[in-house]
Amino acid sequence: MGTLVEIEASTSNPSLLDEAFAALSEIEAAFSFFLPTSLLARINRARVGDEIDLLPWQDELLREVVAVERASGGCFNANLGAQLIELGLRPRLFETDDVPRGTAGEALEWLDTGHIRIRRRVCLDLGGFAKGAGVDAALARLGQAGVRHACVNAGGDLAVLGERSVALRAVGAWQRAGASLALCDEALASSVRYAMQGPFHGQAGLAVLGRDGRHLSLKAGGVAVRAPRCAIADALTKVVLVSGDLGHPLLAANCAAAIELE
């Protein structure tokens, strides 16, 4: 998923770490935007009317994505792959000229459990949500094996078993630690806007993508969210960034809290 993964666990059985990595890799194999063999790639290549079968856990993950989209009023939007390609942030693996604006929920139709139909073309990018789901899966595997203290860190999306102190770096100076948080059986994710030049068609700023596609912000900043699960924590960082609301109702609804990063 475009990042390094670190797993620490209080166990003398190294095979448990292999199993945790395997649990995360299963999520990546299905939902990575960068793998042309993934389920996500199959959905993104599909034409209107095509039907696709899902495994139960894949069905559950996609349903949760759609549920967060709807609950957030589109602040969290999984159907932004085409815009990310145009910004130069994703490889051009799919033809996207006929992909309309809108959310994943507007494009996917559930015919039955584990069976969807493409109602309108999409270019899904589950991004941090899928990465967070992989972190959750790896940590769950360790917990099921009786591990009491562990940390799974995938490029800043992390979750812990037991207690752990985590330092958040300052956005304007990554060499400097910012706030320090004490986590206990919970997850933490962050999303950041940087002021920059580059793939954004020569414009200064970072694209914050939400309800209606691309929005540019010249102000660097970001948000971290702590929540019971990493996938939800990551999705909620997008909700807070796009809405600009550090007290968004979805935070309380998911037993989560947001911290502004400067």
pLDDT tens digits, 72-128: 998 899 998 988 888 777 889 988 888 998 999 999 999 999 999 999 999 999 988
* pLDDT per position as a tens digit, 240-256: 988 889 999 999 999 99
pLDDT band at 222 (very low <50, low <70, confident <90, very high): confident
Q: What does the pLDDT read at residue 194? A: 53
Residue 1 · residue 28 · CB < 8 Å: yes
| Across 112-121, 185-194, 230-239, least confident range | 185-194
| Residue 130 confidence (pLDDT) above 90 | yes
Pick from 47, 87, 106: nearest CA to 213? 87
Q: Please tell me the pTM assigned to this model.
A: 0.89
Q: What does the pLDDT read at residue 195? A: 46
> How far is residue 84's CA from residue 145's CA, in Å, rounded to a whole number?
39
| Residue 5 confidence (pLDDT) above 50 | yes
Q: What does the pLDDT read at residue 178? A: 65
* pLDDT per position as a tens digit, 7-29: 999 999 999 999 999 999 999 99
Bridge partners (DSSP) of residue 158 are 153, 188
List Cβ neighbours of 97 (8 Å cut-off, separation of 6 or more): none
Average pLDDT over residues 142-147: 96
If you count them, how many residues does the chain have?
262
